[in-house]
A and B are shown apart, each in its own frame.
Chain A
Amino acid sequence: MPLAAFVFNALALNKKSAVAGWVSTLAILVSTVCAVNVFARVWDSESYIHQQQVWFTIGATKVYVGLLLNNLSVLLLLLVSVIALPVHIYGMAYMKGDPHFGRYFTYLSLFCFSMLALVVADNLILVYAFWELVGFSSYLLIGFWNTRDKAVLANKKAFIMNRIGDIGLLAAIVTLFAQFGTFDIDALFGQHGLISQATIQDGAWVTAMGISMPAVWQWVACIGIFMAVAAKSAQFPLHTWLPDAMEGPTSVSALIHAATMVAAGVFLLGRFFPLFSETQLMVLAVIGCFTAFMAATIALTQNDLKRVLAYSTISQLGFMVMAMGIGAYASSLFHLVTHAFFKCLLFLSAGIIIHEMQHLKDEHQLDIDPQNILYMGGLRKKLPFTFVVCVIAACALIGLPLTSGFLSKDGILIQSFEWAGHHGGIWYLIPVFSIISSMLTAFYISRLIFKVFFGEFEPEKANPHIHPHFTDGGLAYKIPLAFLALSCFFPIFSFNPFSYESAWVVKGLTLAEHGGEADLLHTIIPVGITLVSIGIIYWAYNIYVSPNRKLFPQDTFLFKLSYNEWFIDSFYNNAIVKGTLSLSGALFWIDKTVIDGFVGLLQNIVLTLASITKWLDKYIVDGFLHTLAATTVAISNFVRGFQNGRVQYYLFSMMAVLLAFFIYKILI
């Protein structure tokens, strides 16, 4: 079994450029088959597979490398490969003719590989490594069209935001290792793992072995994990990279947003779930709820097709994180799965629309933005297949009955009400806000559908002479879309279309049986939400399609707030980017004047000292030697004068010396 897993990992890593598309698709097909196989064996079998081997040893610490396959990871494994397969097939058609076709599939394979490896990794070091790889390969994919300035900016942004999260993850891992002395996920988070035995007593975090450290470290670990999740799964306040990441090819957006990158955050949350305490889960719930609400309001007014979908993704991810926060662990992952399918579907159909619009633009030299929904309309007749799958996905996103979204979303909403019922008081705000977000979702996605598919085709209205010949594309487009659309319906997940508890995903993941079910809630909420959603859809239809349309005032504060994405991006730009820049400027100035000045001063001092030394050397030391030498020369010359070989002179000298002696003798 692990051998099979390793084989598909190796295959997924395959990097051939010429036939890269086929190779990658084949590889992902094989991994899908393997994943299904693994899934069938592990799922609900009350056991999990945990294989490991010693990787390296540091001191007394052994680090293992291995696989951990439990319900959570096989679910994600299946999800990732099943979503990646249609995206690969679609990508082969979508990227046809692109000069970097091979590079695209190489990156895509790397991305899938790192994601698949992330979900099966059994220790924190491996998780961190693949976490980084996922971030890195998404960086490559977002900036795939690296000649576009915007794409480069977007991938830089995504990368930096993800780095912030990586720091958090690293901090959390290090903290956990310091506390528990192991990287093994199973040992840490398993059924009777170390985390569940660790308790907080008197402000200290005590493990079962009796090692204790201040309780603040438990918070550090949780905040670190949360940072990582927020960066990967685009939670407030680190969500701004995701809309920008739309600069990548649309199929990449589908993969990143639907199945892999953003799922990594929720997956990590699922892995680390036992670590969080009650209070920390509440924080998670609040942040998730806030993100869901904020992103939904932003999505209301965006005009870029892909940005609407991006904010919709953020909103849905907010739902998932909130579900984790309220303890609806299974529902959260269930929503992750269903969302993966319908969001992938939405993105892929958006890809077709954008593709066709781009063609139209190139053909007729129109001055339109192929992603702007204001330039679309009436595509219902031109792209009938895309229209149908899009509507299905939108229904699933709204959570209409008979779709998968209905099951998962209502599961979250019901459980949030139950949770709020336990906590009471102000915590009712969370379900209320999530219901509002859910309503907003219904509105913005209907707005999208109506703007794109209903009404009249705007470019045609502006220039009547053009005759766009749109097609839904060949089988390579249709098969993935049909497959994903099929997956949006309830039977895939549950035979009972109205009860989320009977979905197999929820059954397999539920951690503990929850007690008395509030039956009233279970009927009222789905019915109420469905009715209100339908009302909202009708309202949106009235606004955007019917002839007597009423336009929203576009200058209110709320509109601006939403249109400018709550000013978060511009706040980051002003506060953080500019702040950093001016800080750098200030540091540069300090460097230049203070440090360089100090160094310059030092240099001058040294120079002066050196010249003094030089003078001393020259005139004192050398001078002494020179004097000595000169004296010697003078004496030598004087003495040499006597040795001139003339006998008479010698005699004279002798006499003179003798005389001198006598005179000396006489005088003394």
Chain B
Amino acid sequence: MISLTHFLITSAALFSIGLYMVVAKKNAIQVLIGIELILNAAILNLVAFGRYDKLNNNGQTFALFAIVLAAATTAVALAIILNVYRKYKTIEPDSINQLKD
């Protein structure tokens, strides 16, 4: 029997992996993948907690919205990455340090 706890552990693992990727990866695409993982961990939590609302299925509805939004943000993020690449000829986050003064 798969209980709520399993879902939550999986979600936490996904979140941690995503966070790790966001912080540590040397490629902006991989960082984007990490962001997706964190998003999916959140969606998994929404779906898992959705069983307490069997009447309206609000959890599932939010998850759908989130997936759509994630697709949109991913498209925007890819566009940004493309522009960054054009400007810097690289997509390694470490070498793009113009944010400092």
Contacts and interface: CB of A to CB of B under 8 A. Distances in A.
Give chain A's interface secondary structure class. Answer: helix
Interface in B41-80: none
B22 A648 contact: yes
B93 A645 contact: no
Interface in B23-45: 23-24, 31
A645 B98 contact: yes
A647 B101 CA distance: 13
Contacts of A643: 100-101
Given A652-B23, A655-B19, A655-B23, A647 B93 contact: yes
Contacts of A646: 93-94, 96-97, 99
A644 B101 CA distance: 9
Contact of B97 (A645, A652, A655): A645
A648 B100 contact: no
B97 to A, nearest CB: 3
The interface centre, meaning the residue of A645, A652, A655 with most chain B CB atoms within 10 A of its CB, is A645
Contact of A644 (B22, B23, B31, B97): B97
A648 B94 contact: yes
Contacts of B98: 645
A648 B97 contact: no
B23 A648 contact: yes
A646 B23 CA distance: 10
Contacts of A645: 96-100
A651 interface: yes
A164 B49 CA distance: 127
Contacts of B24: 648
A141 B68 CA distance: 132
Nearest to B97: A645
A380 to B, nearest CB: 126
Count class of interface residues, chain A: 10 to 19
Interface in A643-668: 643-648, 650-652, 655
A651 B98 CA distance: 16
Interface residues of B, number: 13
Contacts of B23: 648, 651-652, 655
Contacts of B100: 643-645
A277 B100 CA distance: 111
B93 to A, nearest CB: 5
A420 to B, nearest CB: 122
Contacts of B97: 644-646
A651 B19 CA distance: 9
Given A646-B93, A646-B94, A651 B22 contact: yes
Nearest to B26: A648
A645 B97 CA distance: 4
A646 B22 CA distance: 12
Given A655-B19, A655-B23, A648 B99 contact: no
B25 to A, nearest CB: 8
Contacts of B96: 645-647
B74 to A, nearest CB: 17
B73 to A, nearest CB: 16
A650 B98 CA distance: 13
Contacts of A644: 97, 100
Contacts of A652: 23
Interface string A343-381: 000000000000000000000000000000000000000
A275 B31 CA distance: 126
B91 to A, nearest CB: 12
B68 to A, nearest CB: 25
Nearest to B101: A643
A158 B96 CA distance: 106
A645 B96 CA distance: 8
A650 B23 CA distance: 9
B32 to A, nearest CB: 12
A651 B34 CA distance: 13
Interface string A307-347: 00000000000000000000000000000000000000000
Interface string B1-25: 0000000000000000001001110
Most chain A CB inside 10 Å of its own CB: which residue of B23, B24, B97: B23
A524 B94 CA distance: 145
Nearest to B19: A655
Contacts of A647: 93, 96, 99
Nearest to A654: B23
Interface of A: 643-648, 650-652, 655
22 contacts: A643-B100, A643-B101, A644-B97, A645-B96, A645-B98, A645-B99, A645-B100, A646-B93, A646-B94, A646-B96, A646-B99, A647-B93, A647-B96, A647-B99, A648-B22, A648-B23, A648-B24, A648-B31, A648-B93, A650-B99, A651-B23, A655-B19
Given A647-B93, A648-B22, A648-B24, 13 more contacts: A643-B100, A644-B100, A645-B97, A646-B94, A646-B96, A647-B96, A648-B23, A648-B93, A648-B94, A650-B99, A651-B23, A652-B23, A655-B23
Interface of B: 19, 22-24, 31, 93-94, 96-101
- A-B pairs, top 8 by smallest CB distance, nearest first, are A645-B100, A645-B97, A645-B99, A652-B23, A643-B100, A646-B97, A648-B93, A648-B23
